[in-house]
Structure 1
Amino acid sequence: MAPRVWHISGANKGLGLQLALKAIKEGDRVIAAVRSPDKVPDELKNDSIKVLQFDLSWSQDEFNSYAKKAFDVFGSVDVLVNNAGYAYLGAIEESEDEAVKQQFDVNVFAMLRVIRAFLPALRKQGSGTIMNLSSIGGVSSFPTNGIYCASKFAVEAITQALAGEVEPFGLQCVAVEPGYFRTEFLANANTSQSANLAPAIDAYDGTPAHDARKALDDYNGKQPGNPEKGVARMWEYVAGEGMFAGAVRSW
């Protein structure tokens, strides 16, 4: 079987990086889509990996041009992984309009622009998988995570609809719902300096919202999930191997 080509956004760290490394270990090739190509880790400097500059703030036209460039790298894209994103955290009352809009623009609208950009070539190709990174927070919401979870609920709805829409073209679409994995994800929620944490309202001290806020720092780096095991399941889903061997994958 010819090597698969993975396009992975946010491939310079966390689950994106681990998935890229898993793919090349299995003989596949990777287009690593990152905002700052000059800052990629040494692990991505590999003949089976092509690093492309990628920015979730781009317009639809910019993504359309980018998608053509991505398909030209290895001649195809077999797995489109929408992994890049972040969490804006805080109680609902603490949330601020512009920050909420930015959360949805990155986690939802940018994902939509990427999907629209890649779908014409994927449909023409007649095969491929679109893998959207949701979260356990896309299934159930929690105090101080409401805005982030709302964006992931949207990812779930989009993915479920898209799966039915693209199946006639030989394409698959799946949402991945990671739980608590040891990545840098919570590092951006450091309560002393993060712009991704809404300003605190003292009235919530001693309530579940601020208990959860405090836990962001306490839990960082201590999450139970092993990223390497997580991405192994993602690769197996696409390959139809491991726990997905013989599984019927249909929306």
Structure 2
Amino acid sequence: MPAFSSLKFNFYVLWKKILRRKFFFLFLAGFILFLALFWWQGDFTYARRFFFYLFPYLFLLMAQDIFREEIDSGCLENVLFLQLNFRRYLFEKNLSLLFLGIVFSCLLFLPFLIGSIIRQEFSWSLFFSFFMGLLAGFYYLTLATGLGLKLRAGSNVLVVIVVQVFLFLSLFVGLTSLSSGRDLIDLLLSASPQNSREKLLLFFFVAFWPNALVSRSYSSLSLRLEILFLIIIFLGLQAWRLSRLELKRE
């Protein structure tokens, strides 16, 4: 089957699967309501800022249990029946998820873009923040799909969220109890490292929370290249794992 037909079939299956996920649409509705409340209260700027920082999580949630469900359920036999390469079919899910994530993100971004124009607050930096958010979303997507080859039942998403929660709790404890913690917070807010140690800390922070890239403070080319490099690493590891995947025969 041609590559385009394979992608079309992949997208169709993925879209049907996402439509069955009540939690994803519940999160999406809650996210929209959260932003609408800020906007309604007159804090349009804060609503827009929250949007940029939070919309990359849509990509993460869409990647929930995206591999194990089909691998364990025997659905891949249908892929073989259609004369498709099941390994390529699984890997192409990255493209289908990316496309869906971009569509959802653009639909959510459009009201803020129009609102910024109406309020005469338009700036080309809005597109920069949006594209950096898409990059962070693709990072989450490749990370979650890679974890999804081993973890099941949404554990791939849960692991990422739990790690981030511990990261921010650690920062909060450091801020309230240690003077060095305050220095670290200042570094993360300004994103202006003065030495190699601070650069390393910044790299680790962005790797754990790529959403920071939407901020102008994190416009450093090295940080963006770091995320691109990690995306390539995740995709490479995923392709390697899929190349070793064998279907269980009854």
Both proteins in one fold, TM over 0.5? no
Question: Could you say which structure has the greater relative contact order, defined with CA pairs below 8 angstroms and 6 or more residues apart?
Answer: 2
Q: TM-score, normalised by structure 1?
A: 0.33
Q: TM-score, normalised by structure 2?
A: 0.33
Larger proportion of strand: 1
Larger proportion of helix: 2
Instruction: Answer with 1 or 2: which has the greater Rg.
Output: 2
